[in-house]
């Protein structure tokens, strides 16, 4: 078994420390955004190595002693210069030169050489429009086919009574994805690569392997959503699924980040059909207001209700979101100077996704209210049929919303997988590149889409088992992904002055504790369907609370004995902070885990291995009848 101690990167004797790097005098923070249809900038094209931006970290001194051969074998930074992705700049952690240059968003451009301060509201708004994209897309993409189905089930079976769950998820989404925003903008390195380099091959390959499998199965469910949506209009899945597959490949492999983002925002605009659908469903506003703020479960607490709440959390806070947004921020060339704009983008996306989920619950409740279909959810097509019984327009609008959600989800999840694939195998992985210039990246995307679509077209394919597996694997991966996210955001070598403040660590720890409890309940109920879900949830909650308190007390005792500060604080100016970038991975000091973290990670690894083996056995049993 692989040793749980994190991987140690080779550290040259004169390595660049993780400290602030002031911008050169000739370069100031960019000033203004230009409209999306403005003339292209004269800066270096994405395919070539661009001029050194103000955000780039200077290279380490060249006159230091060489790295000892015994420490050079596993030096991660040395692998960046192969036939795949080449470093964007000497001394920079960015792996692909296409990830440095002008920000070319769907709604505007921010030039690399802009130098004026954004002092007016108009310029700030133009900048926000140019930056907006990754946060909105990752959030709306979360309301995919599985999300539509889950929210519709909540509405059909429990009316408005679970709306309060969605309200609680807004801070969870913002906290998790804000940490991802900082990681992407400051490091310039994808989530998969950071885990692999900082925590060792076991954790790297476990996270990426689980992510690849989970994302692939999720893509299959998106094509199931496509087939259900268009079957409402009488279109055969043998027509709808191939067309959707061609559409997904076409909008992604265009060789232009801007064209891809415009296409995605176009699909997001189409999802606004949910607004007239919501209004035509004649919502009961008083009930909505009550259930948003007063927790309760229609019919009382039951195992099915607890599992559905877990499913709502799992479909709203998904592991692929962490990998997608970090890599998409890097691909869009967003740097620390624009973190506040990307934070705003993420907050807007969080609110939009929750409002959309609430609207789906209300619509599903309206479809069956007063009928014998209450509590009899089958699938999203059943909800469309129920709405069609009231009005053909309502049923058609719901089917279009389902189709649109499936396309957005499939595009985002598949791209998250291809980004991770490029990270791990050192391939060029940027939407700025053409198919010819990034064959491995686009081939992985196309392959995932084609194989997933083919599975849906296989007669008698175990689509129900695939859907169940997606939920179970999401529950298995989410806690470990969240733990790594928190560890990376407390690593001063990675984030320098951008590490988490103490209050954020407390909030994130509480969120991770809740996610661990939900993961344990989901895995337990998947393996043992007859178990009392409510009792399992209560027991696990008690165990985790006691464990969290014990860990906190033990950590304070250890620190008191050693006289260690809770967190090293980097004292840098605001300007230095805005231009600080992570040095090359090869120059980072090795991760030093405390005995408590080592024990916790060993326990987490044991849980993940045992749960994964049990889930595999369960899947084999279900597939063989």
Query: 279 pLDDT exceeds 70?
Result: yes
12 occurs within a structural domain:
no
Cα 445 → chain centroid: 17
pLDDT in tens, 391-431: 999 999 999 999 999 999 999 999 999 999 998 888 889 99
Lowest mean per-residue pLDDT among 73-87, 188-202, 288-302: 73-87
pLDDT in tens, 81-109: 333 444 455 556 787 889 999 999 999 99
**Gap between the Cα atoms of 611 and 604, Å rounded:** 10
pLDDT in tens, 545-572: 776 676 666 656 655 665 554 445 557 7
User: Given pLDDT bands bounded at 50, 70 and 90, which one contains residue 207?
Assistant: confident
202 occurs within a structural domain:
yes
Cα–Cα separations (whole angstroms), residue 166 to 169, 322, 352, 353, 533: 5, 19, 11, 9, 21
**Gap between the Cα atoms of 326 and 580, Å rounded:** 17
Q: What is the pTM of this model?
A: 0.81
205 occurs within a structural domain:
yes
Q: How many helices (H) and strands (E) does the chain have?
A: 23, 3
Q: What is the pLDDT of residue 118?
A: 59
**Gap between the Cα atoms of 415 and 506, Å rounded:** 32
Q: What is the pLDDT of residue 69?
A: 35
Lowest mean per-residue pLDDT among 57-61, 235-239, 577-581: 57-61
Closest C-alpha among 86, 97, 84, 85 to residue 56: 97
54 occurs within a structural domain:
no
- DSSP letters, 553-579, are HHHHHHHHHHT--SS------HHHHHT
62 occurs within a structural domain:
no
Residue span of the structural domain in which 235 resides: 33-47+78-623
16 occurs within a structural domain:
no
Q: What is the pLDDT of residue 219?
A: 94
Output the average pLDDT for the chain. 80
User: Given pLDDT bands bounded at 50, 70 and 90, which one contains residue 617?
Assistant: confident
57 occurs within a structural domain:
no
| Total number of domains in the chain | 1
Query: 46 pLDDT exceeds 90?
Result: no
CATH number for the domain that contains residue 309: 1.20.1740.10
14 occurs within a structural domain:
no
Q: What is the pLDDT of residue 80?
A: 38
């Amino acid at each position: 078994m692989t040793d749980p101690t994190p991987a140690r990167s080779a550290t040259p004797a004169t390595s660049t420390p993780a400290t602030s790097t002031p911008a050169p005098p000739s370069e100031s923070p960019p000033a203004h955004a230009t409209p999306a249809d403005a003339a292209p900038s004269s800066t270096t094209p994405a395919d070539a190595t661009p001029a050194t931006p103000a955000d780039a970290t200077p290279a380490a001194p060249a006159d230091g002693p060489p790295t000892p051969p015994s420490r050079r074998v596993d030096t991660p930074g040395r692998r960046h210069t192969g036939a795949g992705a080449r470093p964007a700049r000497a001394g920079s952690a960015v792996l692909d030169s296409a990830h440095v240059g002008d920000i070319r968003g769907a709604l505007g451009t921010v030039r690399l050489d802009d130098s004026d301060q954004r002092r007016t509201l108009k310029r700030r708004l133009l900048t926000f429009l140019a930056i907006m994209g990754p946060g909105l897309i990752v959030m709306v993409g979360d309301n995919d086919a599985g999300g539509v189905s889950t929210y519709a089930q909540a509405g059909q079976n429990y009316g408005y009574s679970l709306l309060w769950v969605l309200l609680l998820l807004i801070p969870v989404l913002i906290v998790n994805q804000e940490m991802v925003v900082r990681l992407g903008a400051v490091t310039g390195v994808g989530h998969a690569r950071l885990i692999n380099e900082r925590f060792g091959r076991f954790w790297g390959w476990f996270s990426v392997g689980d992510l690849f499998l989970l994302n692939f199965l999720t893509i299959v469910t998106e094509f199931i959503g496509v087939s259900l949506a268009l079957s409402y209009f009488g279109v055969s899945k043998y027509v709808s699924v191939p067309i959707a597959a061609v559409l997904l490949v076409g909008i992604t492999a265009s060789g232009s980040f801007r064209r891809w983002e415009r296409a995605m925002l176009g699909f997001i605009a189409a999802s606004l059909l949910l607004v007239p659908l919501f209004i035509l469903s004649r919502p009961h506003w008083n009930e909505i207001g009550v259930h948003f703020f007063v927790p309760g479960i229609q019919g009382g607490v039951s195992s099915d209700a607890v599992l559905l709440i877990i499913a709502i959390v799992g479909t709203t806070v998904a592991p692929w979101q962490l990998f997608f947004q970090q890599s998409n921020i890097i691909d869009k060339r967003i740097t620390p100077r624009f973190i506040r704009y990307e934070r705003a983008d993420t907050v807007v996306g969080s609110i939009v996704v929750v409002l959309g989920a609430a609207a789906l619950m209300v619509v599903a409740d309206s479809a069956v209210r007063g009928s014998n279909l209450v509590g009899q959810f089958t699938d999203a097509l059943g909800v469309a049929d129920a709405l069609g019984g009231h009005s053909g327009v309502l049923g058609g609008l719901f089917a279009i919303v389902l189709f649109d959600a499936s396309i957005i989800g499939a595009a985002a999840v598949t791209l998250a997988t291809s980004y991770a694939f490029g990270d791990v195998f050192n391939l060029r992985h940027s939407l700025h590149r053409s198919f010819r210039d990034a064959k491995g990246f686009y081939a992985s995307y196309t392959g995932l889409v084609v194989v997933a679509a083919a599975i849906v077209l296989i007669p008698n394919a175990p689509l129900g088992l695939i859907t169940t597996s997606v939920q179970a694997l999401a529950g298995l991966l989410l806690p470990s992904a969240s733990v790594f996210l928190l560890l990376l955001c407390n690593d001063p070598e990675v984030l320098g002055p951008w590490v988490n403040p103490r209050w954020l660590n407390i909030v994130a720890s509480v969120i991770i504790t809740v996610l661990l409890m939900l993961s344990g309940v989901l895995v337990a109920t998947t393996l043992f369907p007859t178990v009392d879900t409510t009792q399992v949830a209560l027991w696990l909650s008690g165990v985790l609370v006691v464990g969290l308190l014990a860990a906190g007390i033990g950590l304070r005792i250890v620190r008191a004995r050693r006289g260690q500060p809770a967190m090293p604080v980097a004292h840098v100016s605001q300007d230095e902070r805005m231009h600080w970038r992570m040095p090359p991975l090869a120059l980072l000091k090795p991760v030093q885990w405390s005995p408590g973290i080592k024990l916790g990670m060993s326990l987490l690894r044991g849980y993940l291995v045992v749960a994964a083996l049990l889930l595999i056995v369960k899947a084999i049993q279900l597939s063989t009848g």
